């Protein structure tokens, strides 16, 4: 196969991760002049930039040009038509968390357009969508990579794929999969010292930008459940959805339906005693409490929630907002393969996307 001299890049989403990715794409195209990477389409939810003759869009001033653009984003079928007609190989970079874009992945892939993305919804939605995505890629030869859908730039998915593809038997996956929950519990129940009140720690985490605008979107456990769904499927389990296994929510029942995140934070102190009791029970056993996800592959059990750990356990001694993921396998025996580090943040998430793009380029160009 003759090497492609040019690969077109289409980007959906130019927010936090999208901005960081643009910077990394610019550096990448300077460092690796071949194949030539040409940005031919970029859009936010409201605006877009693209040229009918596929002329390259300058990366360095794309943010200001997007803001002043009068073009509207193309709906997926129209975008596919536009990208396909360029005559060049194309990679779609989806930096959104949009379900609508995710639902169109099989259509992009079956038209030969490769995808790299941190969008969890594509891979943790219905099992049917998961199957459609990978069978479309297999049939067309287009590639799909989603390293940053779990653990940002940490090599979690690539490691699991390597274990499975080389014939190792993964028996259990366990870890702290949320930077928010990691930060909260490392502050609330530290391995040494007292730790603060639960509601105060949640408020502090929000002020530092560790939580979603409404902290309930973190405390309901669904973000962790989505990541577990993805890893369980890669390990061979047919998990139907992130709500098809036990997920413990840390939102008091009485506060589930309050109108806003601010009202939630205002009323949360009245429920501190519940979390204090949980912490005290763990302390009595010489342990600390952590919010973890686990997949027991043999028994096909997936669960998300609070667990107690000895102070010497790697999960107990995490710092800051780090993630930790332990893979227990036949080859690694009783000592798991452990991946640890920052599992959130624009630059590290974009790094996972850029790294996936490099993998795709090595296969299609």
Binding residue positions for NADPH: 96, 120
Pair 2, 364: CB distance under 8 Å: no
Question: How many residues appear in the chain?
Answer: 365
Report the C-alpha gap between 36 and 17 in whole angstroms: 23
Assigned token pair, 179: 């930077």
Known binding site for NADP(+): residues? 13-18
Would strands 89-94 and 6-12 be described as parallel, antiparallel, or unpaired?
Answer: parallel
Dig out the tokens for 51 from the structure: 């040229």
d(CA 31, CA 34): 9
Annotated binding site for L-homoserine: 212
The strand order across the sheet containing 170-176 reads 301-310, 287-296, 170-176, 322-329, 337-342
Phi/psi at 145 (nearest 5 deg)? -130, 140
Q: What is the DSSP letter of 271?
A: G
Tokens of 334: 């009783």
Q: Which of 121, 227, 279, 308 is catalytic?
A: 227
Residue 54: both structure tokens together: 């596929």
- Per the annotation, the verdict on 227 as an active-site residue is yes
Containing 173, the helix (H) or strand (E) segment is strand 170-176
Tell which residue, 104, 100, 49, 109, has the closest CA to residue 73.
49
Contact 171, 328 (CB under 8 A): yes
Helix runs in 11-170, H state only: 16-31, 62-68, 76-84, 99-103, 105-110, 121-124, 127-140, 156-165
Binding-site residues, please? 13-18, 96, 120, 212
**Catalytic (active-site) positions:** 227
């Amino acid at each position: 196969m003759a090497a492609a001299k040019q690969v077109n890049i289409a980007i959906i989403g130019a927010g936090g991760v999208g901005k960081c990715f643009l910077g990394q794409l610019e550096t990448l195209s300077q460092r690796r002049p071949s194949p030539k990477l040409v940005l031919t389409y970029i859009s936010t939810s409201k605006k877009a930039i693209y040229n009918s003759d596929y002329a390259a869009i300058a990366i360095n001033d794309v943010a200001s040009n997007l803001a002043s653009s009068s073009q509207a984003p193309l709906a997926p079928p129209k975008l596919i038509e536009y990208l396909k007609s360029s005559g060049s190989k194309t990679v779609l970079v989806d930096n959104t968390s949009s379900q609508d874009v995710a639902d169109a992945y099989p259509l992009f892939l079956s038209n030969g357009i490769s995808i790299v993305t941190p969008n969890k919804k594509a891979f943790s939605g219905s099992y049917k969508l998961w199957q459609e995505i990978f069978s479309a890629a297999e049939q067309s030869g287009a590639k799909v990579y989603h390293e940053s859908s779990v653990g940002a730039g940490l090599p979690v998915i690539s490691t699991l794929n390597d274990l499975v593809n080389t014939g190792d038997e993964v028996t259990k996956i366990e870890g702290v999969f949320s930077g928010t929950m990691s930060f909260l519990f490392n502050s609330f129940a530290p391995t040494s010292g007292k730790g603060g009140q639960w509601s105060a720690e949640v408020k502090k985490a929000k002020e530092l930008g560790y939580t979603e605008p409404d902290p309930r979107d973190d405390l309901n456990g669904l973000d962790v459940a989505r990541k577990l769904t993805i890893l369980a499927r890669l390990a061979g389990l047919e998990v139907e959805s992130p709500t098809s296994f036990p997920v413990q929510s840390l939102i008091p029942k009485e506060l589930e339906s309050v109108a806003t995140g601010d009202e939630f934070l205002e009323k949360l102190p009245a429920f501190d005693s519940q979390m204090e009791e949980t912490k005290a029970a763990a302390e009595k056993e010489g342990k600390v409490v952590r919010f973890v996800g686990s997949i027991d592959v043999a028994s096909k059990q997936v669960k998300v929630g609070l667990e107690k750990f000895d102070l010497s356990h790697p999960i107990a001694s995490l710092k800051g907002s780090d993630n930790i993921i332990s893979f227990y396998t036949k080859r690694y025996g009783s000592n798991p393969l452990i991946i640890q580090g920052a599992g959130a943040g624009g630059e590290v998430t974009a790094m996972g996307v850029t790294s996936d793009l490099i993998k795709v380029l090595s296969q299609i160009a």
